[in-house]
Chains A and B, each alone.
Chain A
């Protein structure tokens, strides 16, 4: 596609349920980032994938959060046993790597009720 695509755009889930958020990066981009953004706040780094290297998971807030990137393309961020504090916008970005310009999707707004 022309840009980074995220789905769903909005997700409302009950506390304790698991959710999966999807990111389709720009074709050819080797780097993929996940960020979390609370209302009106800056970006909180979650995880980074670069090619076939082991992902940098240093930003994941707890073991309820995990992410995969299959075939070096599509990525899925999974949140297990969701809590109300997980409510936020989850942004995905891709780039050519090495600190190059990051292209962002429009995000998934997650609301845990």
Chain B
């Protein structure tokens, strides 16, 4: 059973388009983290959302935490080729398993010029 489902699994878009990726679970998390991983590198944290309903903006990226703290979304406006990478969400505070940090399988984003 996958605790955190990310969708879509793959996304290929043209530069300038908008997109949204989703991270869903039936479990409640104390916080949710979004990471981006570029080829040949380890994942790097983009943002942590903590409060249900919270919205955080990071330049063209908008992150939202669901009211019930079970799901999250990442919206990118006017995507650029530099946004290409693997986007991972991670739920924290699951409760003793896997180090209290559960990762989804990721959304692989390709932004074409």
* Residues from 21 to 59 in A contacting B, C-beta threshold 8 Å: 31, 33, 35, 40-43, 45, 48, 50, 56, 58-59
Name the interface residues of B69-110: CB closer than 8 Å to any CB of A.
86, 88, 90, 92-94, 97-106, 108
Tally A-B pairs: CB < 8 A.
71
Are the C-beta atoms of A101 and B99 separated by less than 8 Å? no
| Candidates B31, B45, B97, B105; contact of A42 at CB < 8 Å | B105
**Proximity bits, A90-106, B CB within 8 Å = 1, else 0:** 01010101111111111
Sample (11) of A-B pairs whose CB atoms are under 8 Å apart: A33-B99, A42-B88, A45-B98, A59-B98, A91-B43, A97-B100, A99-B99, A99-B101, A102-B35, A104-B43, A106-B40
Number of interface residues of B (CB under 8 A): 29
A residues sitting closer than 8 Å to B (CB atoms) are 4, 31, 33, 35, 40-43, 45, 48, 50, 56, 58-59, 91, 93, 95, 97-107
Q: When the two chains form the complex, which single residue of B33, B42, B102 contacts A104, counting CB atoms closer than 8 Å?
A: B42
- A58 partner, pick from B6, B88, B98, beta carbons under 8 A: B98
Q: Are B104 and A42 in contact (CB under 8 A)?
A: yes
Contact of A101 with B48 in the complex, beta carbons under 8 Å? yes
